[in-house]
Amino acid sequence: MSVRIEKITEPLTLGEGPHWDERQQALYFVSIQDKTIHKYVPTTEKHTKTSLDGRVGFILPVEGTTDQFVVGVERKFLLIQWDGEDGSKVAVLKELGEVDKDRPNNRINDGKADPRGRLFAGTMGHEDPPGNFERNKASLYKLDSAKDGKLEKIIETVSLSNGLAWDLKEKAFYYTDSMQFSITKFDYDVDTGEISNPRNIFDFKQRGLQGIPDGTTIDTDGNLWVAVFGGSCVLKINPKNGEILQKLAIPAEQVTSATFGGPNLDILFVTSACCNVGKEQLPPSGATFMVTGLGVKGLPNVSVRL
């Protein structure tokens, strides 16, 4: 079966954070600068969206619900209710916490739930001008409802938090600070959610690769699929030896993230951006893409447990 790449949405300014909800067989994602959350159902090709009151870094379904989500808006983590319909009003049910209070220009970026439903989400430094980030002023946080439900800072001196993935077989957590141009592997304890022993497993600069590592997902073989912002591709990487197994070309320069979905978890959904960082990004840049025929399957995305 040959690889096929299909555009499934019109361009967004900064599409990000794709999450496949198995229960609803739907893809959720955000457009950060447009302050919108999105839902796409492949069987009907129905794409809906609605607006929030700030830049939104991620949207994750809440376990056991069909209309409740955790979102990261500016520097706040919010529990919201949305029926998934186009333009319908969002109700904020609860504020779960505010981070980086001493850094008012920071904002929340990538966020995911670990295999036990704990929320891991990070922030990023102020961006001014576009593409120029304030360094080492952000952090990665964890919210564990099994403990006290409070946000815990677990990594400091981050510039641009991205690329979260877990591998239970390897007892590993993968994380990217995009401005370090590298992917870090941590030892991971699924029972406690603790991470330790960080080591660099893949360095873009050392390999002479164009672009920066952005969002990341993982397949059932334990290989990472890394979106490359400024590199027009998703890289399939073996994290055990750093080998690049595949370079999947995407018809957008600013590739932001990816996740596996579909009934068999064998479709790769890829988000992108069309930010002007000194060069105009023409369509289909900014679109969300659906990639079939890769011959691999991903691990299920996990909803947040509150």
245-276 pLDDT tens trace = 999 999 999 999 999 999 999 999 999 999 98
Which CATH number fits the domain that encloses residue 135?
2.120.10.30
Asked whether residue 279 is domain-assigned, the answer is: yes
Average pLDDT for 140-151? 90
Is 191 one of the catalytic residues?
A: no
Confidence at 186, pLDDT banded by 50, 70, 90: very high
Task: Say if CB 204 and CB 211 are below 8 A apart.
Answer: yes
- 16 labelled ligand-binding: yes
Split at pLDDT 50, 70, 90, the class of 147 is confident
Residue 127, pLDDT score: 83
pLDDT tens per residue across span 204-229: 999 999 999 999 999 999 999 999 99
Range of the domain at 287: 4-292
% pLDDT > 90, the chain: 94
Within-domain flag for 73: yes
Is the link from the previous residue into 104 a cis peptide, with omega within 30 of 0? no
Q: Count up the domains in the chain and report the number.
A: 1
Look at residue 66 and tell me if it is in a domain.
Answer: yes
Q: Tell me the C-alpha distance between 58 and 85, whole Å.
A: 18
Q: Which two tokens stand for residue 263?
A: 């009934």
Contact predicate 205/212, CB 8 Å: no
Q: Is 127 annotated as a binding residue?
A: yes
Q: For 56-107, how does the pLDDT look when each residue is reduced to its tens digit (9 = 90+)?
A: 999 999 999 999 999 999 999 999 999 999 999 999 999 999 999 999 999 9
Residue at 16 is within a domain: yes
For residue 148, the model assigns a pLDDT of 82
- Facing residues of 174 across strands? 165, 185
pTM score, whole prediction: 0.97
The answer as to whether 224 is a domain residue is yes
| In 123-239, alpha helices (H) | 204-207
- Angle (CA) 280-286-291 rounded to 5° is 135
Tens digit of pLDDT for each residue in 35-59? 999 999 999 999 999 999 999 999 9
User: Does the residue 303 lie in any domain?
Assistant: no
For all residues of the chain together, what is the average pLDDT?
Answer: 96
Q: Is the pLDDT of residue 175 over 90?
A: yes
Residue 190 covered by a domain: yes
pLDDT tens digits along 270-290: 999 999 888 899 999 999 999
Q: Is 156 annotated as a binding residue?
A: no
Residue 269: strand, helix, or coil? strand
pLDDT score at 261: 98
pLDDT at 304: 98
Determine if residue 214 is labeled as part of a ligand binding site: yes
From the list 144, 214, 219, 266, the catalytic residue is 214
Nearest to 273 by CA among 215, 204, 208: 215
Rounded to an integer, what distance in angstroms lies between the CA atom of residue 72 and that of residue 77? 5
Does 107 appear as a known binding residue? yes
Cβ atoms of residues 22 and 62 within 8 Å: no
19 found inside a domain = yes
